[in-house]
Amino acid sequence: MKVIALVLALFFAVIARSQNTINNYKYVLVPERFDIFKQDDQYGTNTLTKYWLESIGFTCFMTKEPLPADIVNNKCSALKVDLLEKKKFLSTSLTVLLKDCQDNIVYKSEEGVSREKEWSTIYREALTKAFASLKDAQYRYDSTGANQVKQTPPATPAAAPATAAPAPVAATPATITDNKDVLYAQATNNGYQLIDTSPRKVMTLLKTSQPDHFIADNGVEKGLVFKMNGEWFFEYYKDDKLVSQKLTIKF
């Protein structure tokens, strides 16, 4: 009887998992602070996580932001994101976890590994590599499947869906370019605008919770501008490839 019960539990777990994919979810809630850190948005990880999820196609909200009626009326309509950290000799890895309202893991990314020495660089690189496999999952919101996601009583441990890791995906190295033209930052209500010597507005920067991280828009590409090792970089995706452009900014 125990064997039959175990087989049935595994059978229903497989069915539950097949009906509970990331494509059934439109929203992802990003915490102000991940459990592996001691401060809100430490090293810009929460801001960067929200950016990567939105670049894939999810609609994201920080947990302290006002939430739409869809989530307020049904908390199970949104996924939650978490980070799993592993520290090894000379390396640190991050894994992105997407969980449902019952804390079941709906998606687990490949490990993003960094061997850098500075903590801010370590977490940024590891997080970017971890999101490479999630980007490869080709998320597409399916509104018909979303109708299956409803608030239900917590499932028993035996029926909790087991999550298998996706096939390894190699992270695509960034294409690095260098913009030596000096850009001058002019303060705005929400951040800065970068002006060249013409003068012409080249880019808009919006503040985040980290002083050296900005949401950037140059009118064509949208990405992040951040400071690393004393230098400024603008990173964005073009034709599914990560482009990293070095900037010279005078504040």
Q: What is the DSSP letter of 188?
A: -
Residue 107's Cβ-count burial label (10 Å; 0-12, 13-18, 19+) is: buried
> Strands 91-99 and 78-88, how do they pair?
antiparallel
CA–CA distances in Å: residue 188 to residues 11, 15, 63, 180, 203: 57, 52, 26, 24, 12
Residue ranges with strand state E in 165-230: 175-187, 191-195, 201-207, 213-217, 222-228
Q: Across the chain, how many H-helices and E-strands are there? A: 5, 13
CA distance 207 to 188: 10
pLDDT in tens, the chain (251 residues): 444 444 444 444 433 343 358 999 999 999 999 999 999 999 889 999 999 999 889 999 998 888 889 898 998 999 999 999 998 888 999 999 999 999 999 999 999 999 988 888 889 899 999 998 888 888 989 888 665 555 555 555 455 455 554 444 444 445 556 666 888 888 888 889 888 877 788 899 998 878 889 999 988 888 999 988 888 999 988 887 888 899 999 88
CB 128 within 8 A of CB 113: no
d(CA 105, CA 63): 19
Give strand pairing partners of 3: none
The HSE-up count of residue 220 (CA atoms within 13 Å, CB side) is 7
Q: How many angstroms separate the CA atoms of 42 and 32, rounded? A: 9
